[in-house]
Amino acid sequence: MEQYVIKGGNSLTGEVEIGGAKNAALAIIAAAIMTDETVVIDNLPDVRDVNVMIGAMEDIGVHIERPDPHTVKINATTIGRLSVDYEYIKKIRASYYLLGALLGKYKKAEVALPGGCDIGSRPIDLHVKGFKSMGADVDLSYGLISVNAKRLIGNHIYMDKVSVGATINIMMAATLAEGKTTIENAAKEPHVVDVANFLNSMGANIRGAGTDVIRIHGVNKLHGTEYSVIPDQIEAGTFMFAAAITGGDVLVKNVIPKHLEATSSKLIDAGCQIVEYDDAVRVIGRGKLVNTQVTTLPYPGFPTDMQPQMTVVLGVAEGVSTVNESIFENRFKYVDELARMGANIQVEGNIAIIRGVEGYEGARVSAPDLRAGAALVIAGLAAKGVTIIDDIHYIQRGYERFEEKLRGIGAVIEKTDSEQQIDRFIERVS
Ligand code: UD1
């Protein structure tokens, strides 16, 4: 089991380069199987979730070449099975994108019920509702979702709740359905738009992605394409928070500043200075951090995937802050770990009441999930003394070379995989 060991206290300064968006990449590589021609995708993040998805696709017979860690060449003519093994599904929830992709192309698919981060109940009723309304039979039994359609026919689908996954899944299936599909109350996240752009580059006819209403005219077939994944707004935001909490000055490069507006705005409220460029954002964290109130919301609201990182920053901001988690009901589990580092946070239902403390103290903590794990790293960077973070396999699901990138802007952080290595690190930095 690997750990991150961190000696906190350094102000982060310099430049950091952001990779491709994990959540866009997962859907895009799944959608690549919807054509028999070769698809080339680059700016792919080399992270565990993407590698698991590639494994799941290879397992059903998709031919995938990886000329370099950030590029894949996908050809799906060799698909031999329409059933995705539980082995992969239990590791990443996004493997359900293979349902929409296979259903669209082959009118049939079978995928085990999804796993992923344990951040609350994560139903799939909206995906099911969408597939059914296009004429598919959906069977949920023995831990499997089986979808089957003699004909897939476009329909008008209203989403009772804004869901990124259901919007993308329905959009994929509808791309190769007969006639017109309208998705109302669609998710507007940047990766929904990226997947729509990708499908359009393969010959799909999708309009309105990025608004509440997406209209899809089904086409008979899709063709090959070359596509570059958008930058990862959550990775970018994570580095922005790391700069803010350490009183640093960091230029976060290769980003789309518009996608970061909610994060930038909350950092400004908390007392940071933000300078936006065409494809970079500079965060200057000098001066005192101050309290603010945050509510997570679907895009363009403040992202739930940035909630733990924001809470960590507010944990050392002057005054009383509140963070209201409105998307997932179980996303404050990391607060107990943070309390071990000295935080004063009370969770009441979906609201965290944060009384800012002077600073964090290094401690040994465990990453409970991907983003909360990254948030604990941020706390460690600001803490007095050494912080040891266990269970970093969660963090590796979504951050590529995280410790290397942090070291590049002045952090003292290492990856270890034994108690001896931890002891040596502590000796060296004390
Ligand atoms: C995606 C992201 C995840 C992010 C989340 C919200 C990926 C791989 N993951 O997850 O990182 O935290 O968006 O931005 O892209 N819901 C239902 N029924 C459904 C589906 C969802 O009630 O059928 C509810 C969920 O319980 C949740 C809300 O809708 O309360 C939003 O979930 P959704 O947007 O679907 O999240 P994911 O696509 O799973």
**117 carries an active-site annotation:** yes
Ligand 1 atom having least distance to the Cα of 327: 30
Q: Which residue has the tokens 């930038």?
A: 264
> How far is CA 211 from each of CA 117, 193, 218, rounded to the nearest angstrom?
27, 9, 19
CA–CA dist 412, 289 (Å, integer): 22
DSSP state, 209? B
Is there an atom of ligand 1 within 6 Å of 328 CB?
Answer: yes
Q: How far is the CA of 227 from the centre of ligand 1 (A)?
A: 25
Is there an atom of ligand 1 within 6 Å of 160 CB?
Answer: no
Q: What is the pTM of this model?
A: 0.96
Ligand 1 atom having least distance to the Cα of 234: 11
CA–CA dist 127, 133 (Å, integer): 10
pLDDT at 99: 94
Top mutation candidate among 117, 119, 121, 122 for ligand 1, by most atoms within 8 Å of CB:
122
CA–CA dist 183, 197 (Å, integer): 16
Measured N-to-C along each axis, helices 164-175 and 125-133 cross at an angle, to the nearest 10 degrees, of 20
Residues in the chain predicted with pLDDT less than 70, given as ranges, are 114-122
Interval 328-338: pLDDT, tens: 988 999 999 99
pLDDT at 199: 98
Terminal Cα-to-Cα distance of the chain (whole angstroms): 24
HSE-up (13 A, CA, CB side) for residue 242: 35
pLDDT at 118: 56
Structure tokens at 200: 């359009």
Is there an atom of ligand 1 within 6 Å of 186 CB?
Answer: no
pLDDT at 122: 66
The 3-class secondary structure across 249-288, one letter per residue, is EEEEECCCHHHHHHHHHHHHHCCCEEEECCCEEEEECCCC
Ligand 1 atom having least distance to the Cα of 191: 15
| Best CA proximity match to 266, nearest among 298, 241, 299 | 241
Helix (H) or strand (E) holding 314: helix 307-314
Ligand 1 atom having least distance to the Cα of 164: 34
Interval 98-120: pLDDT, tens: 999 999 999 999 988 765 455 45
| Per annotation, catalytic residue among 31, 117, 216, 222 | 117
Interval 21-71: pLDDT, tens: 999 999 999 999 999 999 999 999 999 999 999 999 999 999 999 999 999
Q: How far is the CA of 356 from the centre of ligand 1 (A)?
A: 30
pLDDT at 218: 98
Q: How far is the CA of 200 from the centre of ligand 1 (A)?
A: 23
HSE-up (13 A, CA, CB side) for residue 281: 30
pLDDT at 120: 52
